[in-house]
Amino acid sequence: MKGLINWFANNPVAANLMMIAIIVGGLMSMTTLNREIMPSMPSKFIEVSVVYLGADPVEVEDRISIRVEEAIREIEGIININSVSTQGRGIITAEVSVGYDLQKVLNEIKVQVDAINTFPKEGERPKIRLIKFRERVIQVAVMADTDEKSLKIISQKVRDDLAALPGVDFAEMKGDRRYEVGIEVSEMALRRYGLTFDAVVEAVRQSSINMPAGTIKAIAGDMILRTKSQAYNTNDFENITLLKKRDGTRVLLGDVAHVVDGFEEDQVLARFNNKPAIFIDILLTTAPDVVAVTREVRNYIAKSASFLPDGVTLVSWLDLSNTFKGRVNILLFSGISGLILVFSLLMLFLRPAIAFWVCGGIITSFMGALWILPMLDVSLNMLTLFAFILVLGIVVDDAIIIGESVHSGQERGLRGLEAATSGANNVSKPVMFAALTTMVAFSPILFLDGIAAAVMKPLPIVVILALSFSLIEAFFILPSHLAHMKPPGEAKGFITRFLRKIRQTVSGQLSKFIHNYYVPFLAKTLKKKYLTLSAFVAIWLVLFSFVQGGWMRQDFFPTIPSDYIIADVVLTDGIAFNRAESVMRQVEKAAQTLSSADFKNEDGEPEANPIKNIQTFVKGNKVQVFIDLLPAEERSVDIAEISRRWRHLIGDMTDVKQFDMRFQLRSRNKPLSFVLASNNRRTLEQATADLTTALTKFAGVLDIGDTLRSARQEMVLDLKNEAESLGVSTRDLARQVRQGFFGEEAQRIPRGKDDVKVMIRYPLESRRTVETLKTMRIRTTNGTEVPFEVVADIHFEQGATEIRRLNRRRVVEITGDVDTKITNAQEVIRKVEREVIPVLQEKYPDLEYLLEGDQKEIKSFQAGLLRNTAMALLAIYALIAVAFRSYSQPILVMLAIPFGYLGSVLGHMFLGLPFSMFSFLGVVATAGVVVNDNLVLIDYINKLRASGESAIDAVRKAAESRFRPIFLTTLTTFIGLMPIISEQSKQAQFLIPMAISLAFGVVLSSFVTLILVPNLFVVLDSFKTWVKAKIFRIRQHRRGQNL
């Protein structure tokens, strides 16, 4: 290392070329970096979806979900199997363990599912897919004063155009219905013409068909043969022949049935700002560039008026690029402010040239990191930008220590190359190992699994890269620049004289403080070193008791606010669509009222209404309403306050099963989640009710819900005994009732990019009443028509509307939210697990409590972080032990780590913030940073001891000599983080806890370095001396006995 440092110091061309190469590489890579708000989530789920239309959840569970679960349960790599069985559909999701080849697992699942031969014939083919992370970056609303079919055709063209834009991975329509051809045949028409549903279905299949018929091998050439009679529209289907009479007349389908060429019957209502609309989501998966894609979409919309029909309006909204730019500007401002503060601070203590090149090292280090990031598939997002801010005060430490060492050499009379090389070489070992220990401290995050870990991984990557390039800059570039720095002479010019005077004043005051206050105080503590040690231990115990006593609030997954609010309402299952529409209008009216309401800022002054757009969407029993807000940078009113006002305006709603209002940037699970398992539905129902009641008694717990949907009334058909004598089987009964009320799919016809179902069934009005069922005729195999009531009975019972299973057991999840001003999720969970769950399990012996959702993620994350941190601490110990060739001195160096943790706690308590996932990561990062000052101090103590100084004298001289660099590195780290810590924007609040952990942890640890470590070194040295003397006396005694 010494040779390389000297070579580069002597060869400024090589040093400058290296710096230029790093900066150019960083600038060029910046143009290739993907841009997104938060890092993309890794894929780890595989979904099997089977449609079994008309089947109830119990039948779907038995014939679909359980069959798939049993088929794939032994596939290697699958750690969890979830299934949801609903009306007409079964969805089974397999979670794959980290480290397994997803494509290989996907192929194995396909093989096993394809081998299942017990699926019902009426079910559709299973669809198997890998669930990939997809993020909506912008949404386009298509509005036109036209009918539903025309609006869909226009929207399809717009969707196809948007999907073809550069960078767009998917464009999906929302708010439209699928095409469907409905052939409605009444029971009276069937009886009048002596027809059956089977006959109508078969007539359609036999007549509506295109089929190749081979080739005529003529001499003149081949001629293709084919039939071409596929029906495509209403007229085509109406002209299909059903019957031919003896007189030659024909009965056409149009004579018997009403053909409706329209849409599926499941109603959908979508509106944008109170106008009918269809929405197109622009989705990105891999290599996302939010800014570039949204720019392309806006450009398309700007040009759309020239080629779209008159009256069609396109509006873009939910634009994440605005959010991205706002967050980036906040973080860039904080970063630049921190850099300016660090530079200004260094100017107070170091020569301007040294301060300039030290800060220049920050730019070089950052550019080096940016150069490598695209190669590691890391995007530019809030976490990477925050990582640069976080490491701002850390990367400068290397240059400060070397720069201050050179500065001290110059004050001792060294000049030019000699001062630069001597200063760099003197501190090369502590600088090298300080950077390595910091890298190791950040590394535990790299080896964590789970969603939280995936979000955080860019942070250690940026830190490690920046620190690596900071070492390159500090050892090979900085000495070359400092070597050619002119010796300090007489200041010329007013500014130069003014700066020198300030620097001399500050340096003089610092020196005065060191000599008059610090050194005498340290001497007193060394005289009473055991009292000093006791005082520090007492302080640590008192501060740690704050944590154990519950004084520290916790919120593991912090809220990341977006610029829109979503109200989700789930109504009672089976509710009429007009009732769902009524609830939608209630929520929409509240949003419209809010959009015209008055708002005031924190000073009580009026400000513009923050609501820009309102979107409503209703399908089935689900209602969703969006409120689009002004960007956070353009409004002062908090999004949480807007959400509270909207909730208040909505008021009470009837027939509501679940209501949730959220404004997170990415949807997250509710903080409270309790999963109960039992194969006895009655047990699950009663236990869920008991747990829900218990949760309502906790102060601060709100929005309690569960996945055990309300029961739905079912009509069960029972075959009478006399039916068999009439030639009617249960299958005949079920199939014919299904044909009439659900319908039978005769065929699917291609229409552009859509496959259109052709369904044959009773008219809609007939299917609305039970009377139609009672008056229908059941056809026997010999053509006899038997009244329904002759062969079947009806009885009513309550049936499930949704059945959830986890790892082959029925489960129900009870969820809830918390008001963090009153309580925290972890405290509620601890009390429920300790006081409520045992009572439930005693009351219901077949009930099992499972750890899932956020709780499983939190425990997994914390366990993994603790495990990896322990390994990192061992690695740090090994590095320091190798550097100092000592087993005991690394303990002195690492003593700052527990105090760094308590500094983090004090910082959170002082600023009134809860401990979050980012706080824990900040503590881990602090562990690597706080040992740096101890390394510098003990390395110098060892050098003095090697030169013959006593332990007391070595400690005093080293502490006095290293006070200045320790003070500077601590202050620059703290000052560099102050802009982000003091940031008032709500968008950056979730990042602040990590900065607090690092900043306050470093400050408290510096007191440990300057006071406790010198005392401990003397104690350790005294102990070693005592041990050596004891061993010497024992040996002398043994030699005397031998003589």
List Cα–Cα distances, 846 to 102, 267, 571, 849, 926, in angstroms: 35, 41, 30, 10, 47
More confidently predicted of 753 and 616: 616
State residue 735 phi and psi, 5-degree precision. -65, -40
Q: Determine the residue type at 941.
A: I
The model carries a pTM of 0.77
Average per-residue pLDDT in the chain? 83
Query: What percentage of residues in the chain have a pLDDT greater than 90?
Result: 17
What digits encode the pLDDT tens for the residues 961-1010?
888 888 887 888 888 888 888 877 666 677 788 888 888 888 888 888 88
Quick one: pLDDT band at residue 248, thresholds 50, 70, 90? confident
Contact status, residue 558 vs residue 993, Cβ threshold 8 Å: yes
In the prediction, which pLDDT does 486 show? Answer: 63
Q: What mean pLDDT do residues 797-804 have?
A: 76
Contact status, residue 788 vs residue 734, Cβ threshold 8 Å: no
Contact status, residue 696 vs residue 806, Cβ threshold 8 Å: no
Nearest CA among 391, 344, 386, 384 for reference residue 363: 391
In the prediction, which pLDDT does 855 show? Answer: 65
Compute CA 177 distance to the chain's CA centroid, rounded to the nearest angstrom.
31
More confidently predicted of 1036 and 534: 534
Report the distance separating Cα 590 and Cα 650, nearest Å: 5
Domains of the chain: 2-32+324-555+886-1029 (1.20.1640.10), 179-211+228-265+712-799 (3.30.2090.10), 567-664 (3.30.70)
Contact status, residue 478 vs residue 464, Cβ threshold 8 Å: no
Compute CA 931 distance to the chain's CA centroid, rounded to the nearest angstrom.
32
Contact status, residue 72 vs residue 114, Cβ threshold 8 Å: no
Report the distance separating Cα 976 and Cα 339, nearest Å: 6
Alpha helices in 824-981 (DSSP H): 825-831, 837-843, 853-884, 889-894, 896-911, 917-929, 931-946, 951-981
Q: Is the pLDDT of residue 536 over 70?
A: yes
By three-state DSSP, how is residue 528 classified? coil
List Cα–Cα distances, 874 to 235, 447, 869, 879, in angstroms: 80, 16, 9, 9
Contact status, residue 827 vs residue 814, Cβ threshold 8 Å: no
Q: Is the pLDDT of residue 924 over 80?
A: no
Nearest CA among 481, 484, 441, 657 for reference residue 569: 657
Q: Is the pLDDT of residue 490 over 60?
A: no
Token readout for 359 is 């800060």
Compute CA 46 distance to the chain's CA centroid, rounded to the nearest angstrom.
18
The end-to-end CA distance of the chain, in Å, is 52
Q: Is the pLDDT of residue 665 over 70?
A: no
Report the distance separating Cα 60 and Cα 41, nearest Å: 31
Q: Is the pLDDT of residue 410 over 70?
A: no
Torsion of CA 294, 297, 302, 306, to 10 degrees: 170
3-state secondary structure 589-652: HHHHHHHCCCEECCCCCEECCCEEEEEEEEECCEEEEEEEECCHHHCCCCHHHHHHHHHHHHCC
Quick one: pLDDT band at residue 669, thresholds 50, 70, 90? low
In the prediction, which pLDDT does 72 show? Answer: 93
Choose from 57-66, 846-855, 985-994 the range with maximum mean pLDDT.
Answer: 57-66
Q: What mean pLDDT do residues 313-331 have?
A: 83
In the prediction, which pLDDT does 732 show? Answer: 87
Nearest CA among 95, 102, 109 for reference residue 50: 109
Quick one: pLDDT band at residue 712, thresholds 50, 70, 90? low
Contact status, residue 380 vs residue 366, Cβ threshold 8 Å: no
Report the distance separating Cα 386 and Cα 911, nearest Å: 20
- The CA angle 313-317-322, to the nearest 5 degrees, is 140
Report the distance separating Cα 924 and Cα 441, nearest Å: 6
